[in-house]
Amino acid sequence: MSSDVLLSLSQKALHLLQEDADKIEKLIEVQMENLTTRKCPLYEEVLDTQIYGLSREIDFAIRAELITETAGRQILMKLERNVAQLYEAMSQNKE
């Protein structure tokens, strides 16, 4: 097996997953900025669905041995931390 090809495929896979994670980060940021308005009650559902979708992509990439479990876990953990912060801010805003 050529390690160059594998490396470039792995980098590409990581890059694609990071792009998808960044899109979710943007969703979180937008909602953070609009805490006081909270126009869209479907926000949590959209975020959950997007994160579930990304977790399936990451799981697939790990099984295909394109990325390591650690790299996959890091992407998801960062997102989940930010989502938790958002939900906390949302609930404090409600009080």
Q: Taking Cα atoms as reference points, which of 21, 13, 28, 19 lies closest to residue 75? A: 21
Residue from the set 30, 64, 77, 84 that interacts with its own copies by CB under 8 A? 64
Alpha carbon 55 to chain centroid distance? 8
Q: Per-residue string for binding with its own copies, 16-55, x by CB under 8 A?
A: xx--x----------------------------x--xxx-
CB atoms within 10 A of CB 90: 15
Write the Ramachandran bin of 38: left for phi over 0, alpha for psi from -120 to 50, otherwise beta: left
Between residues 3 and 91, which has the closer beta carbon with respect to its own copies? Answer: 3
Site size with its own copies, rule: CB under 8 A: 25
Task: Give the interface with its own copies as residue ranges (CB under 8 A).
Answer: 1-2, 4-6, 8-9, 12-13, 16-17, 20, 49, 52-54, 56-57, 59-61, 63-66
